Structure 1
């Protein structure tokens, strides 16, 4: 049996063997990826593709310094993608989760075949805003669509879209050929406006209607004006300057101040009633003028200026009595009388003789009275009816 003899080694041989083992370990390490820990100042190799199964985290302990910066001269600075979750996610405990800044273009841009930008918040009230837009001199949030709705707001129990401004318009809609602002509802108000001190809804147009109301219902009006404070339901004013004070307890009030051709309220029809007034116990139509004509009726050829059906009452008409043994009576009708005033008088009783009739009527403009004279003395109290026409 052969016996292996141990060969003694020198110190130089042992050192060479150790260096060879270290070289083999280095070559083996270069053949597989190893975890890398980088500190401030350490170089990072770019241009390669890396993959892993755990989170790669970069931390910066210096306050207010940027942790990660991606820059590109013409491409995407930072690009994130995911097949089923968020491509890029930003999170902050007290600041902005994602912040986008651009010197001349869009700060944050979202594009998708579904929702481009989606914001959600678990907060309540002003601290629970899903998406917030702010600008010093332009639009805070701008929604634009080539063929559909630019901005669409939906809520299951609150307001879909709210616009608020401390000095100017809260919500403004403009359109070159379509509808500036459109509101629709299946069971409530399509458009609702409210104000604590000014107009709830204000409409103005340079070449068409300021506000137009239209109803397709056979039993509903196009426009309804209602006042819960015993004031005017609808006020129509024509003229410049401030809107006049409206009267109390009035359904519709029309006022025009331009000139003698002004019309406070005008009604027109081809065959029916131009203006129709109805009352249960009051006045169906009431006209008043401080110095002009309270009610003026006119007609064309073949028409009738005034027609009454039923009893007619005139305050300028009444009854007077000529006492027995006298032949005249003086009447003060309570209206102004002039030199052109006409007084119609007829006997309503028997003065005692067929020969005794009304002789004449004398008008006294200074006293606003008139005197009825008979041709003879009445043998009994005799009533006369009078009618004053200016």
Structure 2
């Protein structure tokens, strides 16, 4: 049998061989990643890459200590990934499934390239719940110019977004059907269900293609209420329909009412371009239109009743004034009457005068401006004497007087009634 001869090796040779082996291993490690070093049943090793096909579960049934804690100085404390399911899932039978806490940043952050950053689901409770002791409970921010920062959608035609102001134990109100945004507050008379504010634009703006842009409803109070320090409290505008419309089913209440607590105009109607005129004081309704001769400040119309109705206890039921035109103008069609009065009628262009005994005439100053076309109607109210009657009336436009003549001298003081037609109010120009 042959015997192998062992050649003696020096210490220097052995050290050189060991160094070469370590260099080869290092080169091999640098050229490719290390393979998985553990499988099912192997213990966990810090810094290792593990792979398994069964669930790894750590249970603490003894006390309330944290079972698993992941911490990092500047990276992610706990990181979970999944190709088709949840990367990280938390579950609790009596508390929060996932709880995030941060001293100065987001407690829980969700991020997605094209899906939902954070999504919550519950069969009977809140899908997502946010609460803060001193700041906003849930905040949504968006960078898109045409997308909302926060969206609430109801798949069953209920309320998309509900805002409730009240106590912690206050129950949620029933969500009205087919409602985009619903606000509810019922603490006291100062509560506001929905509040809109802007420094230069519109506080609350509503748009509808075929119905009301903004609708308000109240059981016993005001359906829509607007207030402003220096602008318009409630404004309505429409390109082809009514800007503001009020309706009422009450038999003793108006559909639209205007109140002026400062002693100005209650309701003002203006037709024309530009700004409306100054509202007159102590006026219930004021209408103004000054485009042309066909403009009408106020128009009343009815088929059988009164087009315009005015009543007064001691003043004037209807008052008309024109600086150069006609204060009150009446016209009628065939079979009608332009003017009808029931009861005594008073005209400032009518009166009584007396022709003194022994005089054939009397001069009258009616108190109105007279023209060459003024007509004076006279009627004797007494007997001037046998064979004596009215002769004529002569108008003196320059003096704004007229003279009534008898056919002779009056035998006694005789009263004469006169009525001027075609004069004008004193101080007018036509």
Q: TM-score, normalised by structure 2?
A: 0.72
Structure 1 window deviating more from structure 2 (201-210 vs 290-299): it is 201-210
Alpha carbons of structure 1 residues 385 and 165: separation in structure 2 relative to 1, 3 Å: same
Q: Which residue does 1:315 correspond to in 2? A: 348
Cα deviation digits, residues 71-103 of structure 1 (max 9, x gap): 677865554444554343434444444455566
Give CA-to-partner distance per residue, 1:91-118, whole Å, 9 cap, x none: 4444444455566665555555665554
2:71 alignment counterpart: 59
1:12 maps to what in 2?
none
SS at match of 2:267: strand
Residue number in structure 1 paired with 2:321: 288
**Which consecutive residues of structure 1, in runs of 5 or more, have no partner in the other structure?**
1-29
Match of 1:387 in 2: 419
Cα offset, 1:59, TM superposition: 3.2
Contact 2:237 2:243 in 1 (8 A): yes
Task: Give CA-to-partner distance per residue, 1:37-94, whole Å, 9 cap, x none.
Answer: 96xxx356477543433533333445xx654555677865554444554343434444
SS in 2 for 1:247: coil
Query: Cα distance, 1:383 vs. partner?
Result: 1.9
Residue 229 of structure 1 aligns with which residue? Answer: 262
* CA 1:332–1:78: 2 relative to 1, 3 Å: farther
* 8 Å contact from structure 1 (residues 144, 151) kept in 2: no
| 1:220 equivalent in alignment to 2:257 | no
Deviation string 1:160-196 (CA, Å, 9 cap, x unpaired) is: 2222223322332333445433333333322222222
Residue 275 of structure 1, aligned match among 288, 308, 328: 308
CA deviation after TM superposition for structure 1 residue 347, in Å: 1.6
Q: Note the C-alpha offset of 1:272.
A: 0.8
Q: Which residue of 2 aligns with 1:174?
A: 207
Change (3 A) 1:366 1:73: farther
CA distance in 2, matches of 1:75, 1:179: 46
Cα distance, 1:328–1:96 mapped onto 2, change above 3 Å: farther
Offset at residue 344 of structure 1 (A): 0.5
Q: How many angstroms apart in 2 are the aligned matches of 1:95 and 1:273? A: 72
Answering whether residue 231 of structure 2 is matched by residue 186 of structure 1, we say no
Q: Find 2:100's aligned residue among 61, 73, 90.
A: 90
1-structure distance, mates of 2:277, 2:407: 58
1:364 maps onto 2:396 in alignment: yes
SS at match of 1:191: coil
Deviation at residue 262 of structure 1 after TM alignment: 1.4
Question: How far apart, in 1, do the equivalents of 2:365 and 2:308 lie?
Answer: 35
Match of 1:325 in 2: 358
Q: 1:203 matched to which residue of 2?
A: 236
Contact 2:311 2:317 in 1 (8 A): yes
SS of alignment partner, residue 255 of structure 1: strand
Distance change in 2, residues 1:291/1:108 (3 Å): farther
The equivalent of 1:6 in structure 2 is none
| Deviation of the 1:379 alpha carbon | 3.0
Q: Is residue 2:165 matched to residue 1:153?
A: no
Give me the CA root mean square deviation: 3.1
Within 1, Cα distance between the matches of 2:364 and 2:139? 83
Give the deviation of 1:253 after TM superposition: 0.9
User: For the residues of structure 2 that align with 1:327 and 1:264, how far apart are their CA atoms?
Assistant: 50
Which of 290, 293, 307 is matched with 1:257 structurally? Answer: 290
1:288: how far off?
0.6
Q: How does the TM-score come out when normalised to structure 1?
A: 0.78
The whole-number CA distance in structure 1 between the counterparts of 2:209 and 2:113 is: 30
